[in-house]
Amino acid sequence: MATELPQAPADRPAPRRLPVLQGGVTRRTTVKALGATLGLAAFARAIAPLTEWARDIPVDRFLQRHYRELTPEAMQTLLRQLEQETREQYGAEVHIEDVKPTPGVAFGYALNLSVCNGCRRCAEACHIENNHDRASQESYIRVLEMSKGSMDMERGRVDYAGPNPDPDKFYMPVQCQQCDDAPCVKVCPVEATWKESDGIVVVDYDWCIGCRYCEAACPYHARRFNWTKPQVPAAEVNPDQAYLSNRIRPQGVVEKCHFCLHRTRKGRLPACLEACPTGARVFGNLLDPDSEIRRVLADKRVYVLKEELGTRPRFFYFFDV
Amino acid sequence: MRLPFTNDPSRPRRRRLVLGALAAAGLVAAFGAGSWAAARAQAPTPAPDEAPAPAGTADHAGASGAEADRPRPGEVRRLAPAYVPRVDTGLVDRAGAPVLVSCGTCHATRPPDPGRCATDDAMAMHRGLVFAHGERSCLACHDPGDYDRLRLAHGEPVPFAEAPRLCAQCHGPQQRDWERGLHGGMNGFWDAARGGRERHACTSCHDPHAPAYPLVTPVFHPPDPLAGRGRPIPARGAEGGAHGH
């Protein structure tokens, strides 16, 4: 037995309705409408972080190209924009440059473990020079207190309190080794980190997606992640900045030691070297046979950390013999 | 009773419409996120300016042509204490400033007596002097003929400004490394073509009377890794972990 559906009068056409409503409101259409609404709500929720991001970042910064694809004009525009952002967000007048590597220069660093006394002034100088977040006391340098007779950096301590040096220990500052075959560069899924022609491994902070693969890949624990937006008082912001080095980093990106390229690419010594009170650090151009770093390699028995990994660091350690 | 939607020829079309709308929404979501990620992940092409630029860089790239302009390593400025040391007498002048005298102020009035060097009497005269430099006699370094200068082992006098020559008599390897830039701190430029640097002399860091570098209290203590953000660091035996951050 079938009930006849109510028919529209033949003399006037059926009113135009949404197709889903053509049969009238039924349980099935209600459930479907509910499902569609929930689906759209879930979609909106899923893309909500993108809309929040768009609020924080201007459109042209969102569409910004990779460092190596930026034209000089676009870079200049971007640098002025970054200076403006620093002024607004930190209240500090800074000068941000894009310092290029010098042809014929390849940087090398050596550290004399016989005289390092573990005072951590290098780590402190790095913290100040590179506009690190004050609260987390971040620094690119980690000084390990090592037992004499052991070279296992995984067994070094960082939380020693002195007085230094302990006669049974030696002190080994570890920072980015600027590897020639850098694992961090190889794992980056977006090529936000790469090795420059003067040997410095750099990060484009605006291209990094914060996946932290590089942090996991680095055998020297040299990479740092910005868990929070760095907080630096305006009076303490180092105004001498470069795009690839010590400009204040955004939240959620990875950073690392860059041999103070805003200083060293202009001929100056790195901040950690100048801060070292014992003269343990030697820095220079590996391609200049008269440089101090070449004399270290010629005169001293140098070693590199975790040589067996084949990373070929440009950071050398030695003991006075 | 016939349900209103059975055998309704428009039903499959309507279902297709609804399913299609949902699928379209899903596609938009997937495409939106995917294209954004793809834009971020797009591999950059190598920039043309990576190639070495020959012009304007002759002072760094060209070795032979720039040698003449480049200061030799011996020309870099070195900090040596270019002064005669002053001794605090413990007195103050009318303005409240401490009265400092040169060594010769006292020593000009009395003949040198090598036998008194290590006595308490001599130490009491030299206020605040801590002597921990092996078994040296005062006159191993100080010139008994003129206490405002020093004396090498073979009798040649040297001014205080050239004290490293005196130190080098015993500390040959350190002197060799210092000459070659491997010992002692420095400030300034690694690139001599672009600026000078300051080298420290022996006595800038070492007290000549107690030359061992003193014990220091380390600064900038790292935050407690267990109290910090992120996962706690598993202890690694008695040694602790290297993962400070």
* Interface test mutation site (partner B, options A32, A67, A188, max chain B beta carbons within 10 A): A32
B235 interface with A at CB cutoff 8 Å: no
Predicted confidence at residue B224, as pLDDT, reads 63
Query: In residues, how long is chain B?
Result: 245
Q: Give the pLDDT band (50/70/90) at residue B50.
A: very low
State whether B18 and A36 contact (CB < 8 Å). yes
pLDDT tens for B200-235 read 888 888 888 888 888 999 999 887 655 444 444 444
CA torsion sign, B165 to B170 to B171 to B172? positive
State whether B228 and A35 contact (CB < 8 Å). no
Query: Is the separation of the CB atoms in A270 and A263 below 8 Å?
Result: yes
Measured CA to CA, the distance from residue A111 to residue A276 in angstroms comes to: 11
pLDDT tens for A63-83 read 889 999 999 999 999 999 999
Checking if the pLDDT of B76 tops 90, the result is no
Q: Which residue has the higher pLDDT, A43 or B226?
A: A43
State whether A120 and B221 contact (CB < 8 Å). yes
Measured CA to CA, the distance from residue A13 to residue B242 in angstroms comes to: 81
ipTM of the complex: 0.77
Measured CA to CA, the distance from residue A237 to residue A128 in angstroms comes to: 8
State whether A3 and B2 contact (CB < 8 Å). yes
A49 interface with B at CB cutoff 8 Å: no
Q: Give the pLDDT band (50/70/90) at residue A131.
A: very high
Domains of chain A, residue spans: 48-97, 107-318
Contacting residues of B for A285, CB less than 8 Å apart? 190-191
Query: Is the separation of the CB atoms in A313 and A304 below 8 Å?
Result: yes
Among the listed ranges A26-40, A83-97, B49-63, which one has the minimum average pLDDT value? B49-63
Q: Both tokens of residue B88?
A: 């605090």
* Interface test mutation site (partner A, options B182, B198, B204, B219, max chain A beta carbons within 10 A): B182
Domains of chain B, residue spans: 77-205
Q: What is the mean pLDDT of residues A192-213?
A: 95
Cis? peptide before A250, omega within 30° of 0:
no
- b/e A202-211 (16+ beta carbons within 10 angstroms → b): bbbbbbbbbe
Checking if the pLDDT of B51 tops 50, the result is no
List the single residue in B with minimal CA-CA distance to A206: B40
Kindly give the pairing relationship between strand A254-256 and strand A281-285: unpaired
Judge: domain A107-318, CATH 3.90.1150.10: no
pLDDT tens for A78-93 read 999 999 999 999 999 9
Q: Which residue has the higher pLDDT, B39 or A275?
A: A275
State whether A300 and B182 contact (CB < 8 Å). yes
φ/ψ of residue A174, rounded to 5: -125, 130
- b/e A163-185 (16+ beta carbons within 10 angstroms → b): ebbbeebbbbbbbbbbbeebbbb
State whether A137 and B223 contact (CB < 8 Å). yes
Q: What is the mean pLDDT of residues A102-120?
A: 95
